[in-house]
């Protein structure tokens, strides 16, 4: 996973979380076999992907990052009002180089932790045109 892909995942996190709330089923498990996936309705399969993405990002942020790294990632990507690294530094009265260092290390850790997420999981493709025929 590249830095750009990771940043895209973090940027889209709020959208995945919102979509997960609106899929319908709240108790979505990840199908173990391709045959199980084939029996699922499109919304259910999307729901399993959303759930996996949200769960992995939440777990990685909360379990792997230091408090400082977590604060930077949350303020920059996850919080409702995203902030630049400079703004975070000013708000917390911390030098920008420290904020930048925490951000870089957090991205490295998250990139390793989220590597199992394949692009086919986090790229949601609209197939409605195939189902309406």
Per-residue pLDDT for the chain (133 aa), expressed as one digit of tens each? 888 989 998 998 998 888 888 765 545 455 544 444 444 555 566 777 888 889 999 999 999 999 999 999 999 999 989 999 999 999 999 999 999 999 999 999 999 999 888 766 666 555 555 555 5
Report CA-CA distances (Å) from 4 to 8, 23, 27.
6, 27, 31
- The whole-number pLDDT of residue 105 equals 98
| DSSP 3-state percent helix, strand, coil across the chain (nearest 5) | 70, 0, 30
Region class of 13: left (phi > 0), else alpha (psi between -120 and 50), else beta: alpha
Whole-angstrom Cα distance, residue 119 to residue 68? Answer: 29
Q: What confidence score (pLDDT) does residue 17 get?
A: 87
3-state DSSP call for residue 14? Answer: helix
Query: What is the rounded distance in angstroms from the CA atom of residue 85 to the CA atom of residue 73?
Result: 10
């Amino acid at each position: 996973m590249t830095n750009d892909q990771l940043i895209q995942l973090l940027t889209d996190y709020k959208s995945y979380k919102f979509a997960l709330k609106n899929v319908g089923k709240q108790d979505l498990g990840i199908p173990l076999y391709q045959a199980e996936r084939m029996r699922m309705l499109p919304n259910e399969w999307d729901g399993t992907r959303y759930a996996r993405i949200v769960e992995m990002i939440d777990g990685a942020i909360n379990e792997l990052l230091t408090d400082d790294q977590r604060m930077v990632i949350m303020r920059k990507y996850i919080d409702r009002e995203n902030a630049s690294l400079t703004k975070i530094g000013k708000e917390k009265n911390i030098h920008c180089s420290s904020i930048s260092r925490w951000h870089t290390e957090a991205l490295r850790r998250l990139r390793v932790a989220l590597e199992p997420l394949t692009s086919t999981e986090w790229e949601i493709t609209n197939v409605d045109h195939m189902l309406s025929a």
